């Protein structure tokens, strides 16, 4: 399932002095998974950039469809490959979210994304006949791990972790920082964020949410801000990636059940969870489910400990928002 890249502004208000009781302030920036990464942390010792790059590069060898010799690429070519711990973990988390969301999240939907013209191969014409035939190779329930091997019900099935991989990578980096003794940090990979502890001024981390726009080329603007600490946050949206088919705007997010681009008034789903992997996956699932079903899901599943902030369009075309009750005191006013 391909996930839209939604730009999240991370607002860090820093004191003039870079040293605090939490330790020296350090920053690490780089590129990974086709996007940026940014880390801010407070500690007595510096962590080298190559250490972070090594973690992310190793994860790409597991979960990136753009790395030819990765585990997932070999599986998609039906090669015999031994699964490692990270692959099993991300697969099991994906399957769990798929079951809980009644199939709204599905790592097998990649071929459908391609068929609708949102993948690496672009097409001006939509072949509905081809799309209908793809239904036999779509479905998370057709994938299983048996005796350490990934078993596909149909050999043409293709796995894609894009809608969860950035979040999982964020968590890996967070685990490494904590292993190094870092207690206060923020990790951001392409807008998927994990924040622990507080900033050096004693305040919570503040994450900005982008205003949904009518056109993908519109200038990015801030719509709202959310304070977080010891939580992860991820946003998925429909407004930055779409096609115009016979005059109709169609989102890049595909509903695995209908095999069609989603068509509802939810423009942006921001999810706050205990880890970035779950926040990433549920943000995508909620975009498929729509506003009402997502709200019902959160209310009926308090054990998931998921909070959400939705931006949607009302019948008049006006932007509206809705936040779960637990976020009421974490929303920051935009000046």
Collapse the DSSP code of 59 into the 3-class scheme (helix H, G, I; strand E, B; otherwise coil) and give the result.
Answer: helix
Instruction: Categorize the per-residue pLDDT at 123 as very low, low, confident or very high, splitting at 50, 70 and 90.
Output: low
Distance CA 265, CA 312 (A): 6
Higher-pLDDT residue of 113 and 248 is 113
CB 170 within 8 A of CB 195: no
Read off the pTM. 0.89
Averaged pLDDT, 21-32: 90
109 lies in some domain: no
121 lies in some domain: no
95 lies in some domain: no
What CATH code is carried by the domain that includes residue 262?
Answer: 3.10.520.10
153 lies in some domain: no
Distance CA 133, CA 128 (A): 9
Nearest Cα neighbor of 269 from 288, 255, 283 is: 283
Instruction: Categorize the per-residue pLDDT at 251 as very low, low, confident or very high, splitting at 50, 70 and 90.
Output: low
Domain count, the chain: 1
218: CB partners within 8 A, 6+ apart: none
Distance CA 26, CA 43 (A): 8
314 lies in some domain: yes
Residue 120 confidence (pLDDT): 58
CB 244 within 8 A of CB 214: no
Structural domain of residue 281, as residue ranges? 9-67+159-332
C-beta pairs of 147-154 under 8 Å, 24+ apart in sequence: 148/82, 148/83, 149/80, 149/83, 150/75, 150/81, 150/83, 150/91, 152/75, 152/78
CA 24 from chain centre, in angstroms, equals: 30
Using one digit for the tens of pLDDT, what is the confidence trace for 274-297? 999 999 999 999 999 999 999 999
294 lies in some domain: yes
101 lies in some domain: no
323 lies in some domain: yes
Residue 89 confidence (pLDDT) above 80: yes
The CA radius of gyration of the chain, in Å to the nearest whole number, is 20
CB 250 within 8 A of CB 239: no
Distances, alpha carbon 30 to alpha carbons 34, 37, 240, in Å: 11, 5, 23
Bridging pattern class, strands 192-196 and 184-189: antiparallel
136: CB partners within 8 A, 6+ apart: 154
Distance CA 65, CA 107 (A): 12
Q: Which helix (H) or strand (E) holds 128?
A: helix 128-133
Instruction: Categorize the per-residue pLDDT at 14 as very low, low, confident or very high, splitting at 50, 70 and 90.
Output: very low
Instruction: Categorize the per-residue pLDDT at 15 as very low, low, confident or very high, splitting at 50, 70 and 90.
Output: very low
Phi first, then psi, for residue 89 (nearest 5°) are -60, -50
């Amino acid at each position: 399932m391909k996930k839209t890249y939604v730009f999240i502004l991370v607002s860090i208000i820093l004191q003039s002095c870079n040293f605090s009781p939490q330790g020296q302030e350090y920053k690490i920036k780089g590129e990974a998974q086709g996007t940026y990464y940014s880390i801010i942390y407070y500690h007595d010792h510096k962590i080298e950039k190559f250490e972070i790059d090594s973690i992310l590069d190793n994860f790409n060898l597991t979960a990136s469809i753009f790395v030819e010799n990765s585990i997932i690429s070999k599986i998609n070519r039906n090669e015999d490959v031994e699964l490692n711990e990270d692959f099993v973990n991300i697969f099991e988390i994906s399957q769990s979210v798929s079951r809980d969301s009644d199939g709204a999240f599905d790592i097998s939907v990649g071929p459908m994304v391609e068929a609708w013209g949102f993948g690496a191969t672009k097409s001006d014409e939509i072949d509905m006949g081809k799309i209908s035939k793809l239904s036999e190779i779509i479905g998370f329930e057709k994938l299983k791990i048996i005796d350490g091997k990934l078993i596909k019900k149909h050999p043409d099935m293709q796995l894609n972790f894009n809608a969860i991989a950035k979040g999982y990578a964020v968590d890996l980096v967070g685990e490494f920082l904590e292993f190094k003794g870092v207690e206060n940090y923020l990790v951001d990979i392409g807008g998927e964020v994990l924040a622990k502890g507080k900033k050096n001024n004693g305040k919570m981390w503040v994450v900005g949410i982008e205003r949904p726009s009518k056109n993908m080329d519109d200038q990015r603007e801030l719509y709202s801000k959310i304070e977080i600490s010891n939580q992860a946050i991820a946003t998925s949206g429909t407004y930055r990636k779409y096609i115009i088919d016979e005059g109709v705007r169609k989102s890049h997010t595909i509903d695995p059940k209908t095999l069609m681009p989603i068509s509802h008034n939810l423009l942006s789903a921001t999810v706050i969870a205990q880890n970035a992997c779950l926040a990433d996956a549920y943000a995508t699932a909620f975009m498929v489910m729509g506003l009402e079903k997502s709200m019902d899901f959160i209310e009926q599943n308090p054990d998931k400990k998921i909070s959400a902030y939705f931006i949607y369009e009302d019948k008049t075309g006006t932007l509206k928002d809705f936040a779960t009750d637990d976020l009421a005191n974490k929303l920051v006013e935009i000046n």
